[in-house]
Structure 1
Amino acid sequence: MTSNIPVTYQEVFKTDKGVVYQCDATHRLILEFWDTHTQFSARDFTHFRRMVETVDIRQMALSTAAEHDVEILALPRSERCYVLTLCEIVHLRELLSGARLMLELNSMLRECGCTVAE
């Protein structure tokens, strides 16, 4: 995966399937996943992460019905959507959960006056 990410973007969390960046200039989180780039406000990022977490992957895995082959997730405040398979949802969950944990860690470090080494 190659990208031309501006210098103002800081990597929050990365997996082999995608990366989440933070842009301090625009106060946005940028999700790069499966060759797409989607910008979110912090609130919309949290909303989207919760949407991904609520997908019933057990049902998808066990069902033989065609309607459980993919999950369609509409992005907050956007006309775009993701059409994801079971494996893609698992990879996206890993990416979004890791990003959430890193953002929480950075927030806790700032609260206690620590600086994050670059």
Structure 2
Amino acid sequence: MVEIFGTSSGALYQCDRDNCFYLQFQDKQTSFRVCSLLAFKRKIDNIDLVSLLTDEDDRSGMTIVRTCQHRELFVLTIREVLELKEILSGALVMLELNSILHQKLQYSFS
């Protein structure tokens, strides 16, 4: 496994052997295929942090997010949502950068 991006809160790894990604977060490891990782990132990005802070009926400041296959459940505080957003966004930027570099190298050697 190769670490794509990590912080003190967790990391995203790529495993070519299993053809999937592993998210290490909240003391657990969750596997994702590419499509499910992108869908999970969309769910995390769509969390309305302002409503978590200002909801009169729910002052816990927590949200629950399931993975696409409903195999894992994440109970997240506002801080954890921000940490997870950072990990997922950073990892996707690194993957995009790697793809751009790979394309440029292929182009320069052909």
TM-score by shorter chain over 0.5: yes
- Structure 2 match to 1:29: 21
TM-score between the two structures when normalised by the length of structure 2? 0.89
The whole-number CA distance in structure 2 between the counterparts of 1:111 and 1:30 is 25
The whole-number CA distance in structure 2 between the counterparts of 1:24 and 1:113 is 21
Aligned partner of 1:96 among 82, 88, 95: 88
Alpha-carbon RMSD across the aligned residues, in angstroms, is: 1.5
Shift of 1:68: 5.9
In structure 1, the gaps of 5 or more residues are: 1-8
Aligned partner of 2:70 among 54, 66, 78: 78
- Structure 2 match to 1:5: none
List, as ranges, runs of 4+ consecutive aligned residues in structure 1 with deviation greater than 2 Å: 62-65
More deviation, 53-62/73-82: 73-82
In structure 2, the gaps of 5 or more residues are: none
For residues 85 and 45 of structure 1, do their structure 2 counterparts lie closer, same or farther at Cα, with a shift above 3 Å needed? same
Map Cα deviations across residues 7-42 of structure 1 (whole Å, 9 max, x no partner): xx0010010100100001111110000101000001
Shift of 1:108: 1.1
Q: Secondary structure at the match of 2:105?
A: coil
- Structure 2 match to 1:107: 99
- Structure 2 match to 1:20: 12
- Structure 1 match to 2:50: 58
Of Structure 1 and Structure 2, which has the larger fraction of its residues in helix? Answer: 2
Map Cα deviations across residues 82-116 of structure 1 (whole Å, 9 max, x no partner): 111111101100111000100111111111226xx
User: Given that residues 59 and 68 in structure 1 are in contact (C-alpha distance below 8 angstroms), is that contact kept between their aligned partners in structure 2?
Assistant: no
The whole-number CA distance in structure 1 between the counterparts of 2:71 and 2:4 is 25
